[in-house]
Amino acid sequence: MTKKEFEGYLYIEGGVCAAQGFVANGLHAGFHSDKNKNDLGMVYSETPCHTAAVYTQNKAKAAPVLVTQENLKASGGIARAVLANSKNANAGNRNGKETAIAACELAAQELGIPREQVIVASTGVIGEPLPLQPFQDHMQELVSGLSREGNSKAVNAIMTTDTVPKEAAVEFLLEGKICRLGGMAKGSGMIHPNMATTLNFITTDAAVSTEMLQRALKDVVKVTYNCLSIDGDTSTNDMVAVLANGLAGNQEIREEGEAYSCLKQALYIVMMNMTRMLAADGEGATKLLECCCEGAPDQDTAIIVAKSVIRSPLFKCAMFGEDANWGRILCAIGYADAEFSIDQMDVELSSLAGTVPVCRDGAGIPFSEELAAKVLAEEEINIHINLHQGEGKATAWGCDLTYDYVKINGDYRS
């Protein structure tokens, strides 16, 4: 999957370790039966970080989400470490918070920092007790192995049904200072966000206040992770956290302006790319679907329309079957919960193989089934919708719905 280029921003390697002062590690602690699979990871900053976060809006929030919220409130938005495990979500457990707090204490003690400066996260099966023993047995090893090259070990530790690691990082200038921002993400199923999605951790060496970082994160989440849908299920454990340690040496960003816009764009680039990676790696997926809606009365309407198409099971199945059944797009647009007219709507399907217009002025038009078959045979499919009713536009991402999705989720706990 190709990355889109943005002037003034250079893609670099390193993920969460791309920025100055950040180290990471991951190892097998015993949560997962496969001894070759990392299941406990950590990201750490050598100095305190201004931290912003957004969380799942699912009412059944997992214990780590609740503990992280409490920790950041107690620390005044300051964090230095992220501790995350896979295979067990620590959700729906009577002693879940106790375990999450104890895990934070173990990490804090080994790192020599306050417990409130630890972000804790879990992902995996819901409703199974999370043992504390693996944290106790492996915390010293996890901390002692922290390194600037540990990003790949850390991202592997948070993967569940993911088939590929998801990392992105960029380098850019702020007031003449070289800054870096990078992140890692996991997620393949149970993805239909509301304020966040999956587990995502982002780091930067840019100096920015907690308030402005939170503002940027909230705005960017709206047009990236919140525009992603794999299967319509909002997880109990969703979390996005951004840590900024200021080691780049730029003047701290405390208000909107050129520097803030530059940082916000870097955040968008990294989060947008990881959103695309998450969509492309949906459970059982064979195709990345990108739906762009423009000409909407406003941006919120464009988001609603694009997401309605992306989350439609019937449309997702049609894309798996490489069937240009555009009526399923029309149906999904028609039940989108927003006020607009479809009488002027145009729809096109495109990929590297070409473009097929399928609708003009709200009605179907003749098209080449042969060309459509070639277009839909590609691994990345674009759906372009123009409502012709305003300046609002947005993009949403998803994937096709395949036989393997059912197989994976029919036997998820094994």
Active site residues: 197
Residues 6+ apart with CB under 8 A from 291: 306, 307, 309, 310, 382, 383, 384, 385, 395, 396, 397, 398
From CA 41, how far away is CA 44, in angstroms rounded? 10
From CA 316, how far away is CA 396, in angstroms rounded? 13
**For residue 372, what is the enclosing H or E element?**
helix 369-376
**For residue 403, what is the enclosing H or E element?**
helix 403-410
Cα atoms in the 13 Å half-sphere on the side-chain side of 50:
20
The amino acid at 374: K
Query: What six digits make up the tokens of 43?
Result: 């990201």
Residue written as token pair 């504390």: 132
Query: What six digits make up the tokens of 83?
Result: 């501790």
The three-class DSSP label of residue 188 is coil
From CA 169, how far away is CA 61, in angstroms rounded? 29
Of 192, 181, 177, nearest in space to 279 by CA:
192
From CA 140, how far away is CA 107, in angstroms rounded? 8
| Residue environment code for 293-317, b if the CB has 16+ CB neighbours within 10 A, otherwise e | bbbbbbbebbbbbbbbbbbbeebbe
The amino acid at 122: S
The amino acid at 275: T
Torsion from C-alpha of 277, 281, 282, 286, nearest 10 degrees: 120
Helices 96-111 and 133-144, packing angle to 10 deg: 30
Residues 6+ apart with CB under 8 A from 103: 83, 85, 120, 132, 135
The three-class DSSP label of residue 73 is helix
